[in-house]
Amino acid sequence: MRCRYCQCTDSKVVDSRPTEDGTAIRRRRECMNCGRRFTTYEKVEEMPIIVVKRDGTREPFDSNKILRGIRKSCEKRPVSAAAMDELVEDVVREINNSLEQEVTTIKIGELVMARLKDLDEVAYVRFASVYRSFKDINTFMAELKLLLGEQDAK
How does pLDDT run across 72-115, given as a tens digit for each residue? Answer: 999 999 999 999 999 999 999 999 888 889 999 999 999 999 99
Q: For the chain, which residues make up each domain, given as ranges?
A: 11-43, 50-153
The C-alpha atoms of residue 45 and residue 55 are separated, in whole angstroms, by 30
E strand or H helix at 112: helix 105-119
E strand or H helix at 46: none
Calculate helix-pair angle for 121-131, 63-73, nearest 10 degrees: 120
Q: Name the pTM for this structure.
A: 0.62
The beta-strand segments (E) located in 19-90 are 24-31, 37-43, 50-52, 58-60
